[in-house]
Each structure stands twice: as C-alpha cells, then as structure tokens.
Amino acid sequence: MAKTQLNVRVDECTAATARARASQRGISVNRYIEELVQQDAGESGRMFVEAAADFMKQYEAVFADEFGTEREGRR
C-alpha cells in the first residue's frame, strides 16, 4: 500500500510518550501511530455495529408490524 506523509503537532510530553511507547514495543513512532489509528477505527466500527444491533433489538416489533415477520432467517 502506498504511504502518504502526515504531519502533526503535539506537545513535548505527548511526543516523548509516543517515542517511549514505540521504543518499548520495538517499532517506529510512525508504525506506533499507524497502529493506534487502525485500532481506533476498528473500535469505532465495532461500536457502530453494537449500536445498530441494539437499535434493531429495541425496535424489532415496530419493524415486524410494518414489514411482517417473514424476513431472511425468520418465519
């Protein structure tokens, strides 16, 4: 995958923490930040799916009344 450069400004304490954490894991600061963003994106996706499932559970009767109970996987 092609890489792109992203410049960010953080306070020195945050920069030092990022450097230390990356060093502890034996990876570059770039890789550390990339992994954090990917992890955050995954958690957001998981939260969305959980919220959608909760919504469907709460309003299942409304959907059944409107569209009937014959849906894929249900009879």
Query: Residues 43-73: pLDDT tens digits?
Result: 767 778 888 888 888 888 887 888 876 655 5
- Structure tokens that stand for 54 in this block: 């909760």
- At 73 the pLDDT is 56
Radius of gyration of the chain (CA): 22
- At 69 the pLDDT is 67
Asked whether the beta carbons of 53 and 59 are under 8 A apart, the reply is no
- At 62 the pLDDT is 84
Q: What is the mean pLDDT of residues 20-46?
A: 90
Q: What is the mean pLDDT of residues 35-39?
A: 91
Give the chain's count of helices (H) and strands (E): 3, 0
- Structure tokens that stand for 13 in this block: 């304490």
